[in-house]
Amino acid sequence: MGQGLSCGTSDEHGLFTAVQCGDLETVKALLERNPSLIYHSTVYDRQSALHIAAANGQIEVVSMLIDQSVNPDLLNRYKQTPLMLAAMHGKISCVQKLIEAGANILMFDSLNGRTCLHYAAYYGHSDCLKTILSAARTSHVASSWGYARFVNVKDGKGATPLHLASRQRWPECVHILLDNGALVCASTGGYGFPGSSPLHLAARVGSLDCIRELLAWGADRLQRDDSGRIPYSVAFRHKHVACAALLNPSSAEPLVWPSASKFISELNEEAKHLLECALMEANKEREKNILKGTTYSPPSPTNSDNGIDDNISEASDTEVCCICFDQVCTIQVQDCRHQMCAHCVLALCCHKKPNPTTTSSTTPVCPFCRSDIVQLDVIKFEKDDGTSHDVSSSRLRKSRRSRNFSEGSNSFKGLSAVSSFGKMVGRGSGRISAENDHIDKPIILD
Ligand SMILES: [Zn+2]
Ligand SMILES: [Zn+2]
């Protein structure tokens, strides 16, 4: 260095500093004086101004550079793009801007052969993860590569984004990836211990929440890594007692999200959210038995039941579920309009673990009229002021003591004939049952 580069180096340094702290005026002034600076990069890592701006979340500078037609896919020394750095540091606005500017989401760095999706998953930035996934749905990647292939893209050691999110304990990222078609049983090549599944990796670091997500999506507790270990023995060996209890093949199986059912894949966001919450709640209920005797104490009930009891008065506007007589009806079968709670819907759909060898998944039927369940809706309630409001937002839960109120209920209009028929069937079947009975057994109403 230092052979007559004149004022270039100090301007260069000034530019990178200004970019880093988002000093737009200085950046503009420097580039006006010396437009070629825009193509300079740092000496060692070869970071361009765009890399530095993206990594530091300087959205104004990112926008300005893109407006000056800087290539959004510039590479640094490690072949990382500005998009990868933005995803690594969770700079969501920069991720969005770069994608809008046409940044390629399917680039691989030279460090570990990872894409921007790996970065978002590894560092746990679920907002960036979602943005990249939705870009993948609509971009050329989906048509050329295939969306499912992108979601399951492997890095240089065979790790998918799901492996990384599980290993780094990011349950929300794990959930988003599974929801977007990540393969729950994929094995790594050399990453972690060879042949590890996401469940092995979560077991190793003791992430109970990731294990819950993975099991609820059908992860196999008996899958072995290349050394023949099941996730249970990995958790046990690392002294994660609670994780080991859930992973113990002799513990009760959790409910599994019925992703094979056609109507589940077509659920609207609202209904899906409601069912997902019910699934997690039901599984946590089961865990109480499994975790009994381990030193793990579940989070205090004040956390998980937040905002439930204060809604009791509001709950008197609503119908209690005729199957369990415990929860409020939140879901309605589309054509016959029979209603039940989210917990009972799940009990109908996922009491059996889907068998991957048989393609025919039997469609669940409405327990009241035996018609096939084609689609589910969230029940909307009319409020007194005429605005509709859905039950999912308040996550009502009825206390048992109010189970008899429903005869006098009048503010819930419509379908009263249908729901009283439902009640009849519900009672006839003797389903006023012990607590949590409905989540432990399939419902048979014949
Ligand atoms: Zn119910
Ligand atoms: Zn029905």
Residue with tokens 């094995």: 187
pLDDT of residue 445: 38
| Cα–ligand 2 centroid distance for 347 (angstroms) | 16
Q: Which residues surround ligand 1, an ion (CB under 5 A)?
A: 321, 323-324, 327, 341, 344
The answer to whether 186 touches 218, Cβ cutoff 8 Å, is no
* Contacting residues for 16 by C-beta, under 8 A, at least 6 apart: 42, 47, 49, 52
> Which ligand approaches the C-alpha of residue 343 most closely?
1
Ligand 2 centroid–CA 2 distance in Å is 81
**CA dihedral sign of residues 342, 346, 347, 349:** positive
Q: What's the gap in Å between 362 CA and the centre of ligand 2?
A: 17
Q: For residue 373, what are its two tokens?
A: 């369940």
C-alpha 325/C-alpha 184 separation (Å) is 35
Nearest CA to 406 among 313, 338, 302, 319? Answer: 319
Q: Could you tell me the distance, in angstroms and rounded to a whole number, from the CA of residue 325 to the centre of ligand 2?
A: 17
- Map 271-306 to HEC letters: HHHHHHHHHHHHHHHHHHHHHCCCCCCCCCHHHHCC
Q: Are the C-beta atoms of 383 and 342 separated by less than 8 Å? A: no
The answer to whether 156 and 113 have CB atoms below 8 angstroms apart is yes
| Predicted pLDDT at 345 | 87
How many Å lie between the centroid of ligand 1 and the Cα of residue 329?
Answer: 7
**CA 190 to each of CA 101, 193, 279, 306: distance values in angstroms, whole numbers, following the listed order:** 35, 6, 33, 43
Contact 213, 181 (CB under 8 A): no
Among 271, 263, 305, 213, smallest CA distance to 393 is for 271
The 3-state DSSP class for residue 389 equals strand
Dist. CA 4 → ligand 1 center (Å): 79
Positions in the chain whose pLDDT score sits under 70: 1-9, 293-318, 351-362, 381-446
**How close are the terminal C-alpha atoms of the chain, in Å?**
85
Q: What is the 3-state composition of the chain as percent helix, strand, coil, each rounded to the nearest 5?
A: 45, 5, 50
Q: Which ligand is nearest to the CA of 370?
A: 2
Nearest-10 crossing angle of helices 126-138, 171-179:
20
Paired tokens of 279 = 């699934």
Rounded Cα distance between 139 and 131, Å, is 12
For 216-232, the pLDDT digits (tens) are 999 999 999 999 999 99
Closest ligand to the CA of 335: 2
Distance 442 CA to ligand 1 centre (A): 12
Q: Residue 362 and residue 417: Cα distance in Å, rounded?
A: 29
Instruction: Tell me, in angstroms, the distance from the centre of ligand 2 to residue 374's CA.
Output: 11
Cβ–Cβ under 8 Å, residues 198 and 211: no
Note the pLDDT tens digit of each residue in 349-380. 775 555 555 444 567 888 899 888 888 888 87
Q: Which ligand is nearest to the CA of 345?
A: 1
pLDDT value at residue 387 = 53
Report how far residue 87's alpha carbon sits from residue 173's, in angstroms, rounded to the nearest whole number. Answer: 13
Indicate which ligand has the atom closest to the C-alpha of 431. Answer: 1
- Cβ pair 320, 249 in contact under 8 A: no
How high is the pLDDT of residue 216? 93
CA 329 to CA 318: how far, in whole Å? 7
Least distant ligand from the CA of 421: 2
Q: What is the pTM of this model?
A: 0.76
Residue 1's contacts (CB-CB under 8 Å, 6 or more residues apart) are 9, 43
Within its chain, how far is the Cα of 275 from the centroid?
13
- Find out whether 30 and 70 touch, Cβ atoms under 8 Å: no
* Residue 41 DSSP label: B
CA–CA distances in Å: residue 349 to residues 143, 218, 299, 329, 383 = 32, 14, 28, 16, 31
* Interval 376-388: pLDDT, tens: 888 876 555 555 5
Q: Which ligand is the nearest neighbour of the Cα of 327?
A: 1
The rounded Å distance from CA 410 to ligand 1 centre is 20
